Amino acid sequence: MPKFNDAYRSSFWQAARATQVISLTVALVLTVLGMPPLVAVVHSLAIGNLISLLTHLGRWSLAMWQIRRSGESTAARENGWPGWGPMAGVIVLTVMISYPLGSLVARLLLGGHGMTHGPDWLASPTALLGLFVVSMIPAVAGTYYFQSRARLAATEAELAQAARQAAENRLALLQSQLEPHMLFNTLANLKVLISLDPARAQVMLDHLIAFLRSTLQASRQITHPLSAEFDRLDDYLALMAVRMGERLTVELDLPPALAGLPVPSLLLQPLVENAVKHGLEPQVCGGLLRVRARQVGQRLLLEVHDSGAGLPAAQAAAGPIGTAFGLTQIRERLATLHGSGADLKLLSPAPFDPPQRDAGPGTLALIELPIPTVTPTLPA
């Protein structure tokens, strides 16, 4: 349980630092009451650190035992808090053990030094009881402090989980909106083709069935490998090739080193659809569509470049002609997963180099996002 172990180590060192401050404060109080300073400091540190160590071990052991017994891992238990009931017994037992053991350790460390001045603090029953009560105070105070931290950590964990769930629900909603958008356009094209060329319509329907089957799993995921994204584009472009024939030329360029990088599922499909519908189809000669992935530093660049009709400058800033629904969804999904670390830009004119024969001004859609070392996590 890496998270559990990290929390344990962090709270251990926090408790150790707090214990020294509390112990020295207790020593100062005992000194004011008349105990020799050296005796007060050594006894306070010895007893205080034993109390802290045993309390720390006790509360984490109880929390782990509760998790294993019930099989339920709450945020409070993961932060080492088993509840006040079990902790009351731990505190009393810890002080009962730590007080005589800490006193023994202190006596050994002092070697009799400082014990001959003033009243015999360690022989007086009243003094012993007082020191025991004083020992209880930092134990209870320290426990309350870490209980408060555990409760705060549990609250923060619950809020983070709620935020992640909201982000996941939002992404799922965006995807559910995006899929019908693509399907509607494809079915509209298929309807037209049925009346013009039934044989090609049948081929297109076969490709549509294959496309829907292959994208069913991808559409239920927040992210998938970049290679899967290119596979889905290949399926989609097979549909477009039936309708456009030789008018559509496609180049898909995915370096093997980038194939496994996680990206939002169905991220590039709306851009490819826009490039075909608004860029290449209006041209009699069609044109070239190039989809490329490349790495620049620690950034992943995804390009959808067409040699089509292009866009006026104002429309290039707002999106292609139409509702720009797909572009809106892409920007929102990138913002949800990466915040301001990802961006989508449209550039037009954007001619190819070398220039394409009978090419239009062209349009380049460029997505830039950070290269994750692991699958990206949703922001809290």
Q: Domains of the chain (ranges plus CATH)?
A: 2-161 (no CATH), 197-370 (3.30.565.10)
CA gap 335, 329 in Å, rounded: 10
Q: What is the pLDDT of residue 176?
A: 57
Question: pLDDT tens digit string along 46-78?
Answer: 887 888 788 778 877 887 888 888 777 676 666
Dihedral pair phi/psi, residue 366, rounded to 5°: -125, 120
Q: What is the pLDDT of residue 117?
A: 41
User: For the purposes of burial, counting CB atoms within 10 Å of the CB of 198, is it exposed (0-12), middle (13-18) or buried (19 or more)?
Assistant: exposed
Q: Residue 167: its pLDDT value, please?
A: 65
- Here the tokens at position 374 are 């692991």
Q: Are 52 and 111 in contact (CB under 8 A)?
A: no
Distance of alpha carbon 55 from alpha carbon 264, whole angstroms: 46
Q: Is the dihedral of CA 40, 46, 49, 55 positive or negative?
A: negative
Residue 30 has what pLDDT?
77
Strand partners, 290: 251, 305
Q: What is the value of pTM for the model shown?
A: 0.53
Question: Which stretches of the chain drop beneath a pLDDT of 50?
Answer: 1-4, 114-121, 313-314, 316-323, 374-380
